[in-house]
Amino acid sequence: MKINLIVSCDKEILKIKKLVKYIVMNSSIINKLIKGQVSGVDVQKNIEMEVDDYLRLMKKVGATVNLHFHEDERILLDSNAAIKLLSEVLIGNISSPALAYICDCFTLSERIEFQNELIKDIVFEIADPEINGGYKSKAEIEDFLHNLIPNI
């Protein structure tokens, strides 16, 4: 499986995304989720077509998966942010495949800062489900949360 990250840090992609099939996930929507300005449902809807394509391509051996991620803001993924993101999966606002897609984007991003190695390890464990044993179950997400809670 080959994964390409299609990243843009300029505003031209905002014009382009109107012409393409995908609504590009912006890093700013993740920051809004972290701050409680949007819900996980909003994030899920924002990347719905990308995640559907991701799911389809992950089933094909040797397929290339494109990750559409516009890094319009820097993301600081601290314990609270990671807990918020994982909690949205547990309550059903974000699907496990969407979480994997988001984490795949994070692993290839140049504008994300992980507060510590534990958070980075969790993101890398969730990313690339083909290598890491599939999409994470609710029990696995709960285990990640239990590991994070003492670090708040």
Q: Are 136 and 93 in contact (CB under 8 A)?
A: no
pLDDT digits (tens, 9 = 90+) for 30-88: 999 999 999 999 999 999 988 998 888 888 877 788 888 899 999 999 999 999 999 99
pLDDT at 9 over 80: no
Where are the domains positioned within the chain? 2-151
pLDDT digits (tens, 9 = 90+) for 93-136: 999 999 999 999 999 999 999 999 999 999 999 998 777 667 88
Q: What is residue 17's predicted lDDT score, i.e. its pLDDT?
A: 46
In angstroms, what is the C-alpha Rg of the chain? Answer: 15
3-state secondary structure of 71: coil
Residue 39 DSSP class: -
Q: What is the pTM of this model?
A: 0.83
Give the tokens for residue 130: 């083909």
Q: Are 136 and 98 in contact (CB under 8 A)?
A: no
Residue 4 DSSP class: E
